[in-house]
Structure 1
Amino acid sequence: MTTRTHTRIRLGVSAAAAALLLTAPAAAPATSATTACSTTWGSLAKARGTHYSLGTLSDVRSGRHTCFDRLVVDVDRPRRSLSYDVRYVPTFSEDGSGKVIPLRGGAKLQVVVRTPAYDEDFDPTYSPADRTELVDTSGYRTFRQVAWGGSWEGQSTLGIGTRARLPFKVTELAGPGDRSRLVIDVAHTW
């Protein structure tokens, strides 16, 4: 073969490759750039135990994640003693009095932890600065408000105003130290 023939073959192969690249479908974006957020959590009530837990409620915190917003309730005892009931309710009410506490959002998630927010001398172990805004939810995709329903007869109640009735899960975590945490994750979407 002559040099001219080699050049023609190379040009033909290059043209065919270029035509193939121009007609090929675009590659899908990398999965690290987009995260699938499907859940199988559901939105029905989640409960554990009917007994009153040992320890006292000591703090309430929140966080934003890619697929969900998170509320963390700190209890100063190991997790084996936690008892709770988390469910969507038509109205959120104060413990003891039954007074309705309005929550922003399209749905109301009630969190009952069967542990008090006071010690054996009835001194508070958790006393929020603002009972209607326990955590700052500005910039959250799902949470609209977290309010304090109070601590009455050995249990503490919180209300989470959410954008809509969305799937949620409840997890118990041990630590740090002899503490435990009740974690409520509410998904951004179904």
Structure 2
Amino acid sequence: MRLRRAMLALVVVLGGLVAGAGGATAAAPYCGITWGSTAKSGGALSAAPLIEVRTGQHDCWDRVVFEFDGSANGYAVAYGETYTEGQGLALSPYTAGGALLRVSLRAPAYDEEHVGTLPYRAGEHAATVLGYRTLRDVVFGGSYEGYSTFAVGVRAQLPYRVTVLSGPGTHSRIVLDVAHQWQE
């Protein structure tokens, strides 16, 4: 009788282990995205002025495009508080309780005569993101000594990537993509 109970207990335990192993599959990456949310940086300081900021929506992510009049490839992007260039005042983009991406571009938002190349000032909204799934706000933080800063409000701390692209023509672009979610 004791042997039967021991065997029955062993079968129950082994059956539970096998059933548990079958249900322990990891969730697949969302749209194949494996970017992560840690700080990213690259490139060098450039004199090519920033001339346009625009946004776009894709099936799996929202996008912010920074376009330069010439070759620019320097950036540093990380989650955290963002301050205006030169003054150090905290920027407060709309995040809807989400997170804040600090974008520092290693290029000015002014030309050789120090005339601004963007149609807005520090603290002003730089792009429209109404109705976007992930982006909540894009605020210009100013440009000082060759660096330009933006605060990008997102709905949560989500994976993102930064890509440097050549063109169109002699222009270049630094592209920030923020995923809609972590996993499927």
TM-score of the superposed pair, with normalisation by structure 1: 0.75
Match of 2:33 in 1: 39
Match of 1:146 in 2: 138
Q: Return the index of the structure with the highest Cα Rg.
A: 1
* The one of 77, 80, 88 aligned to 1:86: 77
Q: In percent, how many aligned pairs have the same letter?
A: 44
Match of 2:117 in 1: 125
* The one of 48, 53, 59 aligned to 1:66: 59
Match of 1:63, SS? strand
Give the letter for the 2:120 counterpart: P
What per-residue deviation string (whole Å, max 9, x for no partner) do you get for residues 128-184 of structure 1?
279432111111000010000000111101110000000000011111100000000
CA contact (8 A) 1:56 1:119 kept: yes
Pair 1:171 & 2:171 matched? no
CA contact (8 A) 1:113 1:155 kept: yes
Aligned residue pair count: 151
Rounded Cα–Cα distance in structure 2 between residues aligned with 1:176 and 1:92 = 30
Listed as ranges, the gaps of 5+ residues in structure 2 are 1-29
TM-score of the superposed pair, with normalisation by structure 2: 0.78
Match of 1:53, SS? coil
Offset of 1:56 from its aligned partner? 0.6
CA contact (8 A) 1:54 1:82 kept: no
Offset of 1:37 from its aligned partner? 2.0
Listed as ranges, the gaps of 5+ residues in structure 1 are 1-35
Would you identify which runs of 4 or more consecutive aligned residues in structure 1 move more than 4 Å? none
Give the letter for the 2:78 counterpart: R
Match of 2:88 in 1: 98
Match of 1:156, SS? strand
